[in-house]
Amino acid sequence: MVVGFCVGEISLTELTFISDKMPQVGEYVTVDYDGKKVLGMVENLVRGNDALNIDLHDVDAIQTIARIGGNDYYIKGKVKLLGDVNDNLRLPRTPALPGTPIKLADKEILNEVFQVKNPIRLGTLVNQSDIEVNVEGNPILNRHLAILAMTGAGKSNTVAVLMDQLLSYSVPIFVFDMHGEYRDADFPNGDVNVIQPKINPVYMSIQEIRRLVSIPNSAVIQERFFRRAFNKAQSMVSGATAHTSNFLQLIVDILTKEADFDEEGNVGANVDKRIVDVINKVEDAMDKYGNLFDNNKGNILTGIKIGQVNVLDLSQTDESVAEVLVSHILRNALQRRKNYFHGGSDKTLDHPVFFVIEEAHILAPNKRDSQSKHWIQRVAREGRKFGLGLCLVSQSPKTVDHDALSQMNNMIILRLVEPEDQRHVQSASESLSKDLINQLPSLNVGEAIVLGLMSKVPTLVKIDEFKGRRTGGDLDIIGDLADFNKAEEEEIRRQERESLDLGYDY
Ligand SMILES: Nc1ncnc2c1ncn2[C@@H]1O[C@H](COP(=O)(O)OP(=O)(O)O)[C@@H](O)[C@H]1O
Ligand SMILES: [Mg+2]
């Protein structure tokens, strides 16, 4: 079906058309010329009327013209050209001629476009529910993915759909579950393996422990005491029994010995008093983070199960602990994958991992430095060489680290209204055009712009509704309160009955 005709100057990447029909934004069209069949996407539509142009200022005149010629409108649209269907979707070298007809793309062509290797089904086209949208698996795992949208737009649903599809390829998935949404989830294609947020301090880096012991960068003397004790403790515990020693207690013991206390508890004559601060801080941390530390635990990565959704439940931990866990796990994963490929140590991780990080703006904030951000950036940059994939999820894209975001070579962007968020996302993704950005506020729940290496063309997708079960959708507050009131009334009536049985009278 012809939907319009090219007009004006036509480039190799974009054309303008005039039409008397109303195509839809996001719809695919084809332009036939010079033996080519060039696929494009309608990105922008306006309606105008030559008789009612912007220079008219007389309200009476406008009403008169509208009465007699109000239906003489035209539709002007912009098409982003995506490539020649007959030539592997490469962009043509010559532009179309003005006057060339624009047709809606045939179903066969679209089915071909969404037929990919190792397909991950995300949903259907927003404008054509009979066309299935599949994206390619490997580019997601290799080149990372960002899922961005305002709250309630459908990020977690998308994550669940994606994870379930990846399970069908036995991908080991590791979710940092900030809200406890996935620990009780049910996936049609695989099991959930809940991993406890516990670390054996013996496997922590000095920076990770320091974050919890809260020795500030400016406290140079404290830092030096701590560093020396940490290094000494490490050299003492290396070997087979490392993972059963109480590493933090060992640090305290080393510091206590060094403090050389006399009988009144004063530090020795030649020792700086600030060593006491360090001892207190380590002991405080042992108290405060008692739930996090587990001196009998092996490395947390050894708990990952292949072909399952491995869920690290962070809903009960505070932010500083979440940061330490993320940094600890990503650092170890990268190190162990390097060892696996290059040898040098038997501490290896023998399989790839796909990490899902919700609340990415907290764990990789744009303005502040943090350990977790550092390791998210490292995995974003280097992970591809070692089979470590990242999926960053956020409802506040503008506060997600720009560096990390621009390493996400795939994006699923659902409804996103705030201009600042839109600008930040656009600057991190070259394939997101201004016209597509403009569509973001008008998307409905579950509708997304999908782009990047996983897809041959940018796509407007209605994401499938997740078939399994997950928690964390909106609460039914009114319903819950009604139940609550009913239960109260029941209870009052029960008490009344009891009282009557006992012979009291009201
Ligand atoms: N693709 C979809 N199809 C149908 N319902 C959806 C879809 N995406 C989201 N929803 C519904 O919208 C609500 C919010 O979705 P959710 O994924 O929790 O949003 P977010 O994580 O972005 O805050 C949920 O109740 C969910 O069931
Ligand atoms: Mg969510």
Rounded distance from Cα 375 to ligand 1 centre (Å): 29
pLDDT level of residue 265 (50, 70, 90 thresholds) = confident
So what's the pLDDT on residue 12? 94
Residues with CB under 6 A from ligand 1: 149, 151-157, 445-446, 463, 465, 472-474
pLDDT digits (tens, 9 = 90+) for 334-348: 999 999 999 888 889
Looking at every residue in the chain, the average pLDDT score rounds to 92
Q: Determine the atom of ligand 1 nearest the C-alpha atom of 151.
A: 23
d(CA 359, CA 354): 16
Residue type, 335: Q
Q: Determine the atom of ligand 1 nearest the C-alpha atom of 465.
A: 3
Q: What is the largest CA-CA distance in the chain?
A: 105
d(CA 104, CA 79): 12
Q: Determine the atom of ligand 1 nearest the C-alpha atom of 153.
A: 22
Question: Residue 458: which residues within 8 A CB-CB, separation 6 or more?
Answer: 41, 80, 82, 431, 432, 436, 449, 450, 451
Which one of the ligands is nearest to 476 CA?
1
Q: Which residue has the higher pLDDT, 159 or 266?
A: 159
So what's the pLDDT on residue 138? 96
* Model confidence at 479: pLDDT above 80: no
Cα angle, residue 39 at apex, residues 122 and 409 outer, rounded to 5°: 45
Q: Determine the atom of ligand 1 nearest the C-alpha atom of 414.
A: 22
Of the candidates 399, 384, 376, the residue with the CA atom closest to the CA atom of residue 453? 384
pLDDT level of residue 435 (50, 70, 90 thresholds) = confident
Of the candidates 491, 481, 449, 466, the residue with the CA atom closest to the CA atom of residue 159? 466
d(CA 447, CA 126): 7
pLDDT level of residue 239 (50, 70, 90 thresholds) = low
- CA trace torsion 404, 405, 411, 413 (10° rounding): 140
Which one of the ligands is nearest to 396 CA?
1
**What is the chain's alpha carbon radius of gyration, rounded to the nearest angstrom?**
30
Neighbours of ion ligand 2 (CB under 5 A): 155-156
Residue type, 309: V
Rounded distance from Cα 142 to ligand 1 centre (Å): 26
d(CA 35, CA 31): 10
For the chain, first and last CA: distance in Å? 80
User: Which residue matches tokens 């990372």?
Assistant: 144
Q: Are 207 and 371 in contact (CB under 8 A)?
A: yes
* Model confidence at 30: pLDDT above 90: yes
* Model confidence at 474: pLDDT above 70: no
The helix or strand, by DSSP H or E, that contains position 33, with its residue range, turns out to be strand 28-33
Which one of the ligands is nearest to 412 CA?
1
Q: Are 384 and 410 in contact (CB under 8 A)?
A: no
Q: Are 446 and 465 in contact (CB under 8 A)?
A: yes
Testing ligand 1's pocket by substitution, the residue of 358, 415, 445 carrying the most ligand atoms inside 8 A of its CB is: 445
pLDDT level of residue 85 (50, 70, 90 thresholds) = very high
Which one of the ligands is nearest to 175 CA?
2
* Model confidence at 502: pLDDT above 90: no
pLDDT digits (tens, 9 = 90+) for 191-233: 999 999 999 888 899 989 998 998 988 899 999 999 999 999 9
**Residue 452 exposed, middle or buried by CB count within 10 Å (0-12, 13-18, 19+):** buried
**If you average pLDDT over residues 234-257, what whole number do you get?**
84
Question: Residue 468: which residues within 8 A CB-CB, separation 6 or more?
Answer: 160, 164, 185, 186, 187, 188
Q: Which residue has the higher pLDDT, 495 or 32?
A: 32
Q: Is 460 helix (H, G, I), strand (E, B) or coil?
A: strand
* Model confidence at 501: pLDDT above 90: no
pLDDT level of residue 359 (50, 70, 90 thresholds) = very high
**If you average pLDDT over residues 140-157, what whole number do you get?**
96
Rounded distance from Cα 479 to ligand 2 centre (Å): 21
So what's the pLDDT on residue 346? 83
